[in-house]
Amino acid sequence: MGRLRCRRGRLNFNGKHICVTGASSGIGLVAAKMLVERGARVSLIARRKEVLDEVCAELGDNAAGFAADVGDKAALEGALDAAAGHFGPVEALFANAGLTGGFTPFTQFDPEVFAETVKVNLTSVFWAAQKVIPAMMEAGKGAILVTGSMGSKRGMAMNPAYVSSKHGVLGLTRAIAVEMAPHNIRANCIIPGFIRTEALDRIPPEQKDKIEARVPQRRMGSPEELGEVACFLLSDAASHVTGQDWAVDGGVLESIEV
């Protein structure tokens, strides 16, 4: 029983400063709430200031919002500077913000949409990690968690920008993990499957049924289920886990049915 209490205690963040991007909705918002509940001080970065203000008012003094478009390097770095000024150096980063890129046949895909999707989904993660890692190196510890996708592992028709960017963030995560391991800085990539977010809630019921039929567990996952894994990977309980892609997908990626 004593050992069990000790292991659970490692998921109490004890005031650790964690920054979450894309934190105004969906996976990012749920993860931010769970982190605050577990004792973290959380900086939430997203574009919608009014939503961030509402969320932080609900979560209390251990949450602070910093409005920024992660696709704007100056705005993102300014938000990270403001977060560090408020709660101290960022000790863990959950780089979760992203775009879907839309679905268009490859030969008709808009190059500007491609560039913007890659900038938000991939380049912004590079910017954010490069900004926070020096303080982690100085502290001798840190954690980076990046939201990937099943598109990080497989191809997907009519969405070259999203697939390219999500393959890229997995590679970037692995590169960070290998280089930063001697500094006790971990980097991992979480792979959501079909998770019930606002976007999936808007699709017709018959389409939901088709999606659930593709999942070996025969259901979509919840943001809370993904949030639990995110909390683990950001915590000291995952101290020997780095360079990994961790799917929360009900078995989709291992299924021959897809």
- Give the list of residues 6+ apart from residue 158 with CB closer than 8 angstroms, or none: 103, 104, 105, 106, 109
Known active-site residue 177:
no
Sheet order of strands, 92-95 included: 63-67, 41-46, 17-21, 92-95, 142-147, 185-192, 245-248
d(CA 142, CA 55): 26
d(CA 258, CA 252): 7
d(CA 109, CA 156): 14
The rounded radius of gyration (Å) of the Cα atoms in the chain is 18
Check 66, 127, 162, 246 and give the catalytic one. Answer: 162
Residues assigned a catalytic role: 162
